[in-house]
């Protein structure tokens, strides 16, 4: 009995120290992959202040919930400010200097704990070395940036579940030399984990760093302003698919994704707590629009969760008004898994965006996003309006057509149709914002060309 007990303990120890496979770029340079080009769909959540606000029991509760809902990447900032402490009061730095990390107290051990707990759940941590405002304020120089990035690379290069997210809500031109130093140092001294850049709202990393060797994939922040509030030129507004479409055309080919769309339950434009708030329907729209336009994944966000707000917190931002652990079950949070499941059910690596399949497309909320491979095509409508499709872009004399409900993943059959000419499809329900549906066309194998 003792022998079997010892073996059981050994297996438990091995399991607890198990590391998920390192994420890499797929062979076609469009997506993420593990192992022998096995598809990895990035479904992220912004847990920005996890290290600052959460004790160990909170971390476990949060990761368990996100794992259950299909999330596989958690985006977290290491240094929100240079005076940052963790939930136990331990400081990250000596003397507010990123060149002198405080490894004698518990801050970095707490970071290690989070990374290890994520690994147990086959989840990845997207680490932001330092939030952009600190660099823009002149609090960081190239020398201590290089020292700090080297410290991070050395400490975490042996952990397989790391992704580096340089920047942090900042234009690449604000401290561009610093961002290049951090990116290059991570790339050279780590050499294992992917590196990207998290930009300011209504911008993409490709605007500054696409041709840098250290940038493995692009990330854009479609942001929190609505069509009327957007004053950025060109005025992309809420059309986040335009960022994905632009990045998709660039050379060299690199994956891209929306790393910060409008968060669920955050005010339009962020700063007016009385303003209209973004809903689960808006989050779904950003997700399907960007992924169908060529995105390799999507990051969800929630106003309370990204700052781990609790009622009574004095450092609350952006009108957060619900406890973070209550918001774990916000509608949009649970609906993202249906996008991930849909994408991984198909020939994922062969997928391309193809708007030529949509005839007489609409604008803004009436826009129809389309993506396909040889044996399937997907179309997303946010408003539930009818639309016309060119049918001969995928294989087969017949296709099986059906609707997928993004709110619950349920299926509504249309039936077999001839795969030629054009056809108008009318989604279930009435036409209105938030009555969103995905039209699926699958080649009927027996009728393939």
Q: What is the pLDDT of residues 123-166, one digit of tens each?
A: 999 999 999 999 999 999 999 999 999 999 999 999 999 999 99
pLDDT of res. 314: 87
Domain boundaries, the chain: 21-349, 354-447
pLDDT of res. 13: 40
Domain 21-349 belongs to what topology? Answer: TIM Barrel (3.20.20)
Q: Cα(73)–Cα(44) distance, rounded to whole angstroms?
A: 4
Asked if 76 and 51 count as a contact pair (C-beta separation under 8 A), the reply is: yes
Question: What is the number of H-type helices and E-type strands within the chain?
Answer: 13, 23
pLDDT of res. 1: 43
| Angle CA 312–317–319, to nearest 5 | 75
pLDDT of res. 24: 97
Give Cα separations from 395 to 8, 168, 348, 444 (angstroms). Answer: 51, 43, 16, 9
pLDDT of res. 2: 36
| Angle CA 375–399–295, to nearest 5 | 40
Give Cα separations from 142 to 96, 155, 175, 176, 217 (angstroms). Answer: 15, 20, 10, 10, 23
Residue corresponding to tokens 């959540």: 45
pLDDT tens-digit series, residues 271-305: 999 999 999 999 999 999 999 999 999 999 999 99
Using pLDDT thresholds of 50, 70 and 90, give the confidence band for residue 17: low
Q: Cα(191)–Cα(213) distance, rounded to whole angstroms?
A: 11
Asked whether residue 398 carries a pLDDT value surpassing 80, the answer given is: yes
Using pLDDT thresholds of 50, 70 and 90, give the confidence band for residue 85: very high
Asked whether residue 20 carries a pLDDT value surpassing 90, the answer given is: yes
Question: Tokens at residue 56, please?
Answer: 């160990």
pLDDT of res. 221: 97
Using pLDDT thresholds of 50, 70 and 90, give the confidence band for residue 315: confident
Question: Tokens at residue 7, please?
Answer: 């073996």
β-pairing, 218-221 vs 256-258, is parallel
Cβ burial 122-137 (10 Å sphere, 16+ → b, else e): ebbbbbbbbbbebbbe
Pick the CATH number of 354-447 from 2.60.40, 1.10.260, 3.30.70, 2.30.29: 2.60.40
Residue corresponding to tokens 């017949």: 398
Q: Show the DSSP H helices in 121-250 as ranges.
A: 132-136, 142-156, 176-189, 206-209, 241-248
Is pTM, for the whole model, over 0.85? yes
Through-space distance between the first and last CA atoms of the chain, rounded to whole angstroms: 62
pLDDT tens-digit series, residues 50-64: 999 999 999 999 999
Residue corresponding to tokens 């000596």: 94
Q: What is the 3-state secondary structure (H, E, C) of 12-79?
A: HHHHHCCCCCCCEECCCCCCEEECCCEEECEEEEECCCHHHHCCHHHHHHHHHHHHHCCCCEEEEECC
Q: Cα(124)–Cα(255) distance, rounded to whole angstroms?
A: 17
Question: Tokens at residue 55, please?
Answer: 């004790």
Alpha carbon dihedral 30, 35, 38, 42, in 10-degree steps, equals -60
Q: What is the 3-state secondary structure (H, E, C) of 346-407?
A: CCHHHCEECHHHEECCCCHHHCEEEEECCCEEEEEECCCCCEEEECCCCCCCEEEEEEECCC
Q: What is the DSSP string of 258-275?
A: ES--PPBT-BTTSS-TTS
């Amino acid at each position: 009995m003792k022998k079997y007990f010892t073996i059981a303990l050994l297996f438990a120890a091995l399991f607890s120290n198990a590391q998920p496979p390192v994420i890499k770029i797929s062979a076609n340079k469009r997506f993420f992959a593990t192992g022998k080009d096995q598809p990895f769909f990035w479904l992220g959540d912004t847990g920005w202040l996890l290290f600052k606000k959460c004790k160990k029991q909170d971390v476990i509760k949060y990761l368990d919930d996100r794992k259950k809902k299909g999330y596989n990447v958690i985006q977290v900032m290491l240094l929100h400010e240079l005076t940052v402490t963790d939930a136990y009061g331990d400081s990250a730095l000596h003397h507010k200097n990123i060149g002198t990390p405080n490894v004698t107290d518990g801050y970095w051990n707490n970071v290690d704990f989070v990374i290890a707990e994520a690994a147990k759940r086959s989840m990845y941590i997207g680490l932001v070395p330092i939030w952009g405002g600190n660099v823009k304020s002149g609090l960081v120089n190239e020398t201590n940036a290089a020292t700090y990035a080297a410290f991070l690379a050395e400490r975490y290069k042996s952990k397989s579940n790391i992704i580096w997210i340089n920047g942090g809500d900042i234009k690449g031109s604000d401290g561009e030399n610093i961002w290049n130093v951090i990116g290059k140092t991570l790339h050279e001294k780590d050499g294992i984990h992917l590196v990207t850049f998290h930009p300011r709202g209504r911008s993409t990393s490709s605007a500054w760093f696409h041709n840098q060797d250290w940038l493995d994939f692009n990330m854009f922040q479609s942001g929190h302003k609505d069509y009327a509030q957007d004053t950025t030129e060109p005025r992309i507004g809420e059309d986040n698919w335009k960022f994905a479409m632009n990045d998709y055309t660039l050379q060299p080919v690199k994956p891209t994704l929306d790393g910060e769309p409008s968060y669920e339950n955050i005010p339009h434009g962020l700063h007016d707590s009385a303003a209209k708030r973004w809903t689960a329907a808006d989050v779904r729209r950003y997700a399907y629009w960007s992924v169908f336009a060529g995105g390799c994944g999507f990051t969800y966000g929630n106003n309370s969760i990204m700052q781990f707000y609790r009622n009574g917190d004095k450092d609350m931002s952006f009108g957060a008004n619900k406890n973070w652990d209550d918001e774990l079950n916000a509608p949009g949070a649970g609906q993202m898994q249906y996008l991930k499941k849909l994408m991984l059910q198909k020939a994922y690596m062969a997928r391309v965006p193809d708007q030529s399949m949509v005839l007489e497309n609409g604008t803004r909320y009436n826009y129809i996003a389309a993506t396909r491979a040889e044996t399937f095509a997907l179309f997303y409508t946010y408003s539930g309006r009818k639309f016309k499709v060119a049918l001969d872009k995928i294989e087969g004399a017949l296709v099986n057509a059906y609707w997928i409900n993004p709110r619950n993943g349920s299926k509504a059959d249309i039936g077999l149709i001839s795969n030629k000419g054009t056809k108008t499809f009318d989604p279930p329900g009435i036409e209105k914002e938030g009555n969103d549906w995905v039209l699926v066309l699958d080649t009927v194998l027996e009728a393939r060309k």
